[in-house]
Amino acid sequence: MSERLPCDPIAEAARQWEAHWGAEPVAAMTAVTSIMRVQQILLARLNAALKPWELSFPRYEALMLLFYSRRGSLPLGKMGARLQVHPTSVTSLVDGLGCTGLARREPHEHDRRTTLASITPEGRRVAEQATAALHDARFGLDGLDDDQLAEVSGLLDRLREGAGDFAPA
């Protein structure tokens, strides 16, 4: 992590924002800026925890998707939909996993137009080890207790549901 700043830049941005735009939009600007900054912090922490396995967090997510799949393989298109990323990104993720021997591309046995990503035995071993490391690191959220984590998740779920990210139960 980089050196601590002498003051909170988001608080300073809020002060400047209010001076130029008024008080009403400050809460929304502060919330979104804080969420984006926390995303950067968490991604750095998670990537550091996964570095021993040459994984980034996006590659870890792709690996775990294969790990949890019934057959250990999925069509690249289905992976993209589940990870909510562009097809080019799925290709890059699977190629990255392939370079380290954690997954491989295979033709679909019934559909020649479809390519599957399949987890390797080494990929299964690494998925278990990397997951244990993330558990030990509390997924980078060691500053919050379980009740606080549930509260954060609930708030973000409401935001995601309102954005149409998933169908309500």
Here the CATH number for the domain that contains residue 73 is: 1.10.10.10
Report yes or no on 35 lying in a domain: yes
Look up residue 41 and give its two tokens: 């912090």
Q: Where are the beta strands (DSSP E) in the chain?
A: 73-75, 103-107, 115-119
Report yes or no on 77 lying in a domain: yes
| 21/89 same-domain check | no
Q: Which residues contact 169 (CB under 8 A, 6 or more apart)?
A: none
Report yes or no on 28 lying in a domain: yes
How confident is the prediction along the chain (169 residues), in pLDDT tens digits per residue? Answer: 568 889 898 998 888 988 998 888 898 999 999 999 999 999 999 999 999 999 999 999 999 999 999 999 999 999 999 999 998 999 999 999 999 999 999 988 888 788 899 999 999 999 999 999 999 999 999 889 999 999 999 999 999 999 988 888 7
Report yes or no on 89 lying in a domain: yes
| Cβ count within 10 A of residue 37 | 13
- Per DSSP bridges, beta strands 103-107 and 73-75 are unpaired
Evaluate whether 49 touches 133 at the Cβ level (below 8 Å): yes
| 34/68 same-domain check | no
Q: Tokens 């909170």 label which residue?
A: 8
| 87/118 same-domain check | yes
Q: Chain-centre distance of CA 20, in angstroms?
A: 34
| 58/130 same-domain check | yes
| 104/35 same-domain check | no
Q: What is the pLDDT of residue 2?
A: 65
Q: Chain-centre distance of CA 91, in angstroms?
A: 17
Torsion over CA of 32, 38, 43 and 44, rounded to 10 degrees? 130
| 47/74 same-domain check | no
Report yes or no on 146 lying in a domain: no
Domain count along the chain: 2
Dist. CA 72–CA 64, nearest whole Å: 10
Q: What is the pLDDT of residue 169?
A: 78
Q: What is the pLDDT of residue 5?
A: 85
Report yes or no on 43 lying in a domain: yes
| 49/101 same-domain check | no
Report yes or no on 68 lying in a domain: yes
Q: What is the pLDDT of residue 111?
A: 80
Q: What is the pLDDT of residue 103?
A: 98
| 44/77 same-domain check | no
Domain that holds residue 65: 54-136
Report yes or no on 49 lying in a domain: yes
| 109/83 same-domain check | yes
| 94/113 same-domain check | yes
In terms of phi and psi (left: phi > 0; alpha: psi -120 to 50; beta: otherwise), the region of 138 is: left
Structure pTM?
0.87
